[in-house]
Amino acid sequence: MTLSSEFDSAQETLKQVIGLLSQLTEDQRKFVFVSAATWFGDSDKLTTAPLKQEADTNLKSLNLQDFIFSKKTKNDAEAVAVLAYYLRAYRNQDLFKTADLDALNKEAATGQTFGNITKTVNNATQRNKFFAMVGKGHKKIRPLGKMIVEALPDEEKVKNIIKSHKPRPKRKVANKDEV
């Protein structure tokens, strides 16, 4: 095969790809480009800086209030998990303090109030296992917390996730006096 025929073949393929891509939206085209580059192991060669900047802008433009309302939480533990998830996913803040969640809740202005947010966060950490302690006063959302938030507002999915990740019961200590 000559160099000219290789180029002609590549050019014909490019025409077909452009024809197919022109039918897609800009976001769909970006998805196809990144997916194809990853598929062929060329993702390190793909210039993603403009794509990443635009993606960051889109994430930051996601309305906090709409995100919270879309989750339709049923209890305070779910509500603080949604706030923590938002911090991690859309504000790139993995670690947080209770004050961060309180400030984010006030920023959202959804009308959701917590009687005692410290107690709510502690319950979500200890009872529900949505958060993990990381250092003094800092917490991080656990995979269970992420799965719960991603499953919301589907309460059946939430119940199934909780049921499937229920911690095993603690062993009962045998009474030594009976021996």
Q: What is the mean pLDDT of residues 77-97?
A: 94
Contact 138, 97 (CB under 8 A): yes
CATH of domain 64-164: 1.10.10
Q: What does the pLDDT look like over 143-172, one tens digit per residue? A: 999 999 999 999 999 999 988 987 777 777
CA distance 100 to 94: 11
45 pLDDT tier (thresholds 50, 70, 90): low
How many C-beta atoms surround the C-beta of residue 149 within 10 A? 23
- Residue 62 above 80 pLDDT? no
Say what the pTM is: 0.61
Q: Give domain limits for the chain.
A: 10-38, 64-164
* 41-57 average pLDDT score: 53
- Residue matched to tokens 């670690």: 95
Percent of the chain predicted with pLDDT > 70: 82
- pLDDT at position 84 is 95
Residue pair 65/110 in contact (Cβ under 8 Å)? The answer is yes
More confident call, 25 vs 85: 85
